[in-house]
Amino acid sequence: MSYFDAASAAPLHSVARQALLASIDEGWADPARLYREGRRARMLLDAARQAAAEAVGCRPDELVFTSSGTRAVHSGVAGATAGRRRVGRHLIVSAVEHSSVLHSAEVFEAEGGAVTRVPVTRTGAVTVESYADALRSDSALACLQSANHEVGTEQPVAAVAELCREAGVPLLVDAAQSLGWGAVEGPWSLLAASAHKWGGPSGVGLLVVRKGVRFVAQGPVDERESGRAAGFENIPAIVAAAASLRAVRAEAAAEAVRLRELTARIRARVGALVPDVEVVGDPQRRLPGIVTFSCLYVDGEALLHELDREGFSVSSGSSCTSSTLTPSHVLKAMGVLSEGNVRVSLPVGAAEEDVQRFLAALPGAVAGVREKLGAPAPVADVRGDVLVVDALGKRCPIPVIELAKVIGDVPVGGTVRVLSDDEAARLDIPAWCEMRGQEYVGEEPADRGSAYVVRRVS
């Protein structure tokens, strides 16, 4: 089985496993106690904090360990906005942030705060100008991921951090996807990360709060982790997390070159091997191991199952999966195709031959799913000079399939109205028009759902 979902969770690094096993016997005691076992546990915890701080590029007393990256984000957003409550109640996030950031923004908004969600380009990147426009005199905090978890696009964090510094607004960086590849550049103020993204054990997160940043921890606190992460520290897991971060950093430069070559091969070959595919994300400014593409006329869940049977573990942001009934918020913000979406995220050490096997298996998997979905004939009728496709009650990718089947039945300049109540159609029909060179006229209200109007151009 070839595991190609490292962006969700990287396999446990061998150094992490060794450190975890070694520290289980030494790091079980309470590090706050002064007897021998407690002092030994404290030494392990302090050494891990020092190693992690060196990797991040911060002072050890600025870094605390949390129970997860999500907890680090939630605590960071809540603490920073509370600390700057007198400045104002305005929060800035990008439209493609990880759900942990967006959920924090929703809570902030529900409690009376104002949130600006900065749009992204079609490659998934924000512009520095868009953050400049979002900054206000009452801005308490800005958030920006270092790189996107679904499409791999790197964000202009250093430039945005400098902009925020000049405006006197702290910037929180979600560095979960990138920290294993290198430190985050720029004068950022807070940083969150998660060990299982770089090959450490799950259940360990990092929260860094720079000196001088006004921060008020929320919820019950205790003496642990400077009062910013309540609860007994999992010292063996923390030691393993820090050790694996140091280990992957030592390998990062050479491994990044190798994985970039493999993902570039996937990006180039997918379009040649499989028709009607959109490769998404920035082709240059991207993480080394992530490549994402979407396939027209494909059910995302069916495709993942087919690839699983072929021996490949991949993930999807498609709305056509049982776990994702609406399109990925990232793909939606980018305005790209969501149906048949596949994210390949290669782990450290991924073999070239496994990538070749994936490229060999993909065309057959896509073709098989498309053949199964092509059987239903579209229900269409002509009302005046407009062809109407009734796709009500049918889920992604059927509305787009039925549109594609009938577009040739109208003359150039004629229109097709697709009736659909599937949320994915709002994203995928315009994306289909972009890919096929047809004109998307717009969305109109209908008795049920919406009518998506397409004009035939060629």
Q: Which residues pair with 364 in a beta bridge?
A: none
Q: Is 295 a catalytic residue?
A: no
**Pseudo-torsion of CA 148, 153, 156, 157, nearest 10°?**
30
The closest alpha carbon to 283, from 92, 121, 44, 86, belongs to 121
DSSP state of 149: T
Name, in order, each residue with C-beta under 8 angstroms of 148's C-beta and a sequence gap of 6 or more. Answer: 96, 124, 154, 155, 177, 281, 330
Catalytic residue among 58, 320, 396, 433: 320
Task: Tell me the C-alpha distance between 405 and 67, whole Å.
Answer: 51
CB atoms within 10 A of CB 447: 7
3-state secondary structure of 145: strand
Task: Tell me the C-alpha distance between 212 and 16, whole Å.
Answer: 33
Q: Which residues pair with 381 in a beta bridge?
A: 388
Exposed/middle/buried for residue 269 (C-beta within 10 Å: 0-12, 13-18, 19+): middle
CB contact at 8 A, 334 and 96:
yes
Task: Tell me the C-alpha distance between 71 and 237, whole Å.
Answer: 16
Q: SS3 string of 36-75?
A: HHHHHHHHHHHHHHHHHHHHHCCCHHHEEEECCHHHHHHH
CB contact at 8 A, 29 and 40:
yes
Exposed/middle/buried for residue 137 (C-beta within 10 Å: 0-12, 13-18, 19+): exposed
Name, in order, each residue with C-beta under 8 angstroms of 245's C-beta and a sequence gap of 6 or more. Answer: 51, 52, 55, 179, 180, 195, 198, 200
Residues known to be catalytic: 320
